[in-house]
Amino acid sequence: MLQSILIVGGGLAGLTAARLLYRAGIGFKLLEARQRLGGRILSVDATGEPSGDGFDLGPSWFWPGMQPAMGDLVDHLGLHSFEQNSEGDVIFQRMSQEHPQRYRGMRQEPRSMRLVGGTGAIISQLAEGLPVGSIELGAQVTHVSLDGESVVVQYLDASGLAERVRASHVLFALPPRLLEAKVLFSPALDFATLERWRRTPTWMAPHAKFFALYDRPFWRDAGLSGTAQSMVGPLVEIHDATTASSRAALFGFVGVPAAERAAAGRDAIVAASVQQLARMFGPEAASPRATLFKDWADDPLTATADDRQAGGHPTPDPRPWVNGKWRDYISLAGSETSISEPGYLAGAVEAASRITNELITRLSQSEPHDLTTLSEAFRA
C-alpha cells in the first residue's frame, strides 16, 4: 500500500502533523516505537502508569506570553491551563556546611503555565478523532530506502516481525540524533548531514526528574512556594508539582550526571532526593506517600550514547536538515528542528506545522486524482 505521507514518531510533533494531514484530506500512517503516544511527554499517576490526571515526567511548562502559537493550540483543542505556583518564599542552599536559606519569592514573568490533567492531555486530544488504524504502536523503524519515486520503510512491529511500507514522503518527527543512531538509509546520506544530526542535542535526553508525592502541599502552609535551588544536590532545581486537581507533589531536576546516576542506581538517587527535600522543606517532606523517578538518559527511545553527557540546549538553525537526493523524500520535524523554539513544546508544534503545511502545499499542486487515489488507498 502506498501512503501519501508516513510519519515516524507519535509525540507532539508527529500528532500535530497527523492532525494537519487528516484535516487536509491527505492519507497518512503514523509509526510510533513505544507502546504509547507522547514521546517525551509522559504524565503518570502515583504508580508510574500513564494517567489523564498525572504528574509530568517530561516537559511541564509552556509560556503563552512568548509562545502565542502554543497558547492558541491549547485554546483550539479546548484544553485548560493554570499557572505554575510561585507564591511564597524560595529556598537556596549553596554549600553543604550551611543551612538552607529562605528568601522572599517573586512573581514569574513571563508566566509559566501547566495543562490541567498534565501535559499528556494535549497528546490525548490531538490523537482523538484520527482515523482508526492510522497509528501503529510498537513499530520501530530500522531501514529507509529509495525505490523509484517512493520511499520504502522497514520496521519491526510490536511482535518483532519485520514489516515494510511504501510512502511518497516520510516525515520524521523525532530528534535528529536519535534518527542518525537508529535508522539506516540507502542510499546513504552525506556525511555532513549525518554529522549535523548527531551533534544536535536532544531535548530532555541527558536529564532525570524526581517527584515526591504528599497528602497535602504542606510547604504552602509554611509560606513557601515550593521553589528551591541547590548547589549541594542531588536535586539542583525544585518546584511545586501539585496538580490542578490538588494532588500535592514536589519535583526536582537531578543534577547528577547520567553516568554517575547509572552507577549509583535509582534507589540511591531517590533516597538522597527525599533526604534533601527534608533538609530544605522540613521533616514532613521526609515521608512522601510515593515517589517517581524518570531518567531520560536511560530511555533508548529518547537518548543515545552521545546523550550521556549534557550537550546544551538546541539552537535555531534555518539550514535544511536534509540535502541531496533525499531532500524530496524525507523531512525532519522534531522539536530540535524548530526555527524559533527548538527544544520546547512550542518548537515541536512550530516545526511540525511548518513542514506539514509545506508538504500539503506540494501535494495540492499535484494532479487532483493523485491525492484521491492515495486517500482511498489509505482508507481501504
Tell me, rounded to whole angstroms, the distance of Cα 124 from its chain centroid. 14
Find where cell 486524482 sits. 369
Per-residue model confidence (pLDDT) at position 3: 54
CATH 3.50.50.60 in the chain: give the residue spans.
2-40+122-203+313-379
Q: Distance (Å, rounded) from C-alpha 135 to C-alpha 148?
A: 26
CATH architecture, domain defined by 2-40+122-203+313-379? 3-Layer(bba) Sandwich (3.50)
Complete edge-to-edge strand list for the sheet that includes strand 208-214: 101-103, 89-93, 224-230, 235-240, 248-254, 208-214, 290-295
Q: Closest by alpha carbon to 285, among 220, 344, 233?
A: 220
Q: Distance (Å, rounded) from C-alpha 47 to C-alpha 231?
A: 30
Per-residue model confidence (pLDDT) at position 378: 28
Q: Alpha helix locations (H) across the chain?
A: 12-23, 68-76, 120-127, 176-182, 191-199, 218-221, 258-264, 266-281, 345-364, 368-379
pLDDT, mean over the chain: 92
Fold of the domain built from segment(s) 43-67+82-118+206-298:
Polyamine Oxidase; Chain A, domain 2 (3.90.660)
At 118, list the grid cell: 498534565
Cβ–Cβ under 8 Å, residues 20 and 356 = yes
Tell me, rounded to whole angstroms, the distance of Cα 363 from its chain centroid. 28
Task: Give, as one character, the DSSP assignment of residue 64.
Answer: T
Cβ–Cβ under 8 Å, residues 308 and 260 = no
φ, ψ (nearest 5 deg) of residue 134: -80, -15
**pTM, full prediction:** 0.93
Q: Distance (Å, rounded) from C-alpha 179 to C-alpha 173?
A: 9
**Helical packing angle, 345-364 and 368-379, nearest 10°:** 120
Q: Closest by alpha carbon to 346, among 16, 1, 2, 4?
A: 16
Per-residue model confidence (pLDDT) at position 95: 85
Per-residue model confidence (pLDDT) at position 135: 98
Instruction: Show the CA angle centred on residue 311, arms to residues 306 and 316, nearest 5°.
Output: 115
Per-residue model confidence (pLDDT) at position 308: 84
At 133, list the grid cell: 488504524
CATH 3.90.660.10 in the chain: give the residue spans.
43-67+82-118+206-298
Q: Closest by alpha carbon to 344, among 25, 70, 39, 36?
A: 70
**Helical packing angle, 12-23 and 345-364, nearest 10°:** 30
φ, ψ (nearest 5 deg) of residue 223: 80, 20
Q: Which residues of the chain have pLDDT under 50?
A: 1-2, 367-380
Per-residue model confidence (pLDDT) at position 367: 47
